[in-house]
Amino acid sequence: MGELPLTHALQGDEALEQVSRLHRKRIPSRDGFVAHYEQNASAAMLYVSRAYLSPVAMWQFSRMIDGIESGASNAEGKFTHLRVREQDGFTVYSALGLGQVHYFYRSGATMVWLAADADVARRALGDTLRLIR
């Protein structure tokens, strides 16, 4: 991921627990994946959750964007500088926070959040968009 090796990953219920912890509430999803990539002083975290239905994912995703726009925080802190752009056929949102660049997008019932250090963020996003469609 952005030339960083995978250091550990969680899947299924363990991954969903991690996602819920970040939101400080249970996020209804049918599957999840969390991966940590790191080398030297650079790191990236990938969070993927799959809702039961695409309309549910759309609703969850819009609530997440609304929360960021309103200045709400998650368990880790606040996000700022929310932006949106089209890339590789996806509407990709980005924000800054917790010392990293955050990219997030939705594909059907799948929601993807990538948190990466600035020096690897764009490469990691490119890899993520190619892998998770």
In a domain, 1, yes or no: no
Rg, C-alpha atoms of the chain: 14
Residue 29 has a pLDDT of 82
Quote the CA–CA distance of 73 and 79 in Å, as a whole number.
7
CATH of the domain at 107: 3.40.1000
- What is the domain extent for residue 103? 6-131
Per-residue confidence at 17, pLDDT binned at 50, 70, 90?
A: confident
Residue 72 has a pLDDT of 67
Mean pLDDT within 92-110: 95
Q: Is the pLDDT of residue 24 over 90?
A: no
In a domain, 112, yes or no: yes
Residue 133 has a pLDDT of 80
Please indicate whether residue 124 or residue 98 has the higher confidence score (pLDDT): 124
Domain count, the chain: 1
Amino acid at 132: I
Q: Is the pLDDT of residue 121 over 60?
A: yes
Quote the CA–CA distance of 121 and 1 in Å, as a whole number.
9
Enter the pTM of the model. 0.89
Q: Is the pLDDT of residue 74 over 60?
A: no
Share of the chain above pLDDT 90, in %: 68
Q: Are 36 and 45 in contact (CB under 8 A)?
A: yes
Residue 115 has a pLDDT of 96
